[in-house]
């Protein structure tokens, strides 16, 4: 939110006092003195008044996980292990998943406590591609690519999918790039041709590619450079 709104929400300040604090340049956000009332403040920001802590801020956390089969993309599940169970990290209840994967789908999963960052990564409006390696039960025909590029109508949601790019790797293997994340979208796209997906593996989300050094079930923190790419 804006810094003036953040300060006004504190019971000790009224709007006139907030304006004065900013004009007198007594507020710092993450070490930067601010006077602009529109300056952004997030839950991760450290906000000080004359050196007094108004909000300590909490560290933003970002992880890349190589999701295995048989694991639920959820924060909790009564029957199955979840992807958060694979993380040896404190305060896991504060984390959420940026772009879930089906129970038996493997590959890149991103986990964070930064909601704004994960929305940029997953919202269709940003048009960041999600790239999957796909194996199918039957041969993939030449008509698939044109159909996927034109978009498929999903009656259940009453919508047409955004254009998707299909690269044929073999008779029954392909790489598919989509910018959405509809329910079972990839499987339903191939299901349009009555062709069952037998293996699905996410390789990339936007600029972030699965680290080849990570075995299934392993994870690591993202680097600063990777975080800034989104």
Known catalytic residues are 102
Residue 9's DSSP bridge partners are none
Phi, psi angle pair for 84, to nearest 5°: -70, -25
The DSSP bridge pattern shows strands 208-209 and 52-55 to be: unpaired
DSSP secondary-structure letter at 112? Answer: E
**Shortest CA distance to 223 belongs to which of 64, 27, 32, 38?**
64
CB 132 within 8 A of CB 200: yes
**CA count, 13 A, side-chain hemisphere, 166:** 25
Angle subtended at Cα 39 by Cα 35 and Cα 43, rounded to the nearest 5 degrees: 125
């Amino acid at each position: 939110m804006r810094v003036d709104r953040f300060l006004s929400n504190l019971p000790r300040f009224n709007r006139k006092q907030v304006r004065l604090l900013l004009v007198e340049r007594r507020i710092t956000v993450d070490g930067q003195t601010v006077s602009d009332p529109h300056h952004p403040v997030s839950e991760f920001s450290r906000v000080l008044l004359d050196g007094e802590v108004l909000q300590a801020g909490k560290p933003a956390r970002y992880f890349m996980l190589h999701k295995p089969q048989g694991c639920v993309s959820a924060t909790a599940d009564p029957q199955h292990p979840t992807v958060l169970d694979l993380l040896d990290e404190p305060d896991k209840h504060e984390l959420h998943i940026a772009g879930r994967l089906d129970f038996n789908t493997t590959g890149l999963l991103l986990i964070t406590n930064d909601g704004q960052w994960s929305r940029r990564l997953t919202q269709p409006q940003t048009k960041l591609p999600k790239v999957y390696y796909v194996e199918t039960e039957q041969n993939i025909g030449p008509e698939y690519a044109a159909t996927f590029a034109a978009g498929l109508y999903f009656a259940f949601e009453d919508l047409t999918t955004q254009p998707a790019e299909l690269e044929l790797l073999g008779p029954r293997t392909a790489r598919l790039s989509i910018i959405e994340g509809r329910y079972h979208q990839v499987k339903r796209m191939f299901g349009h041709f009555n062709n069952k997906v037998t293996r699905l593996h996410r390789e990339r989300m936007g600029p972030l590619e699965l680290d080849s050094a990570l075995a299934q079930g392993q994870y690591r923190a993202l680097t600063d450079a990777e975080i800034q790419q989104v």
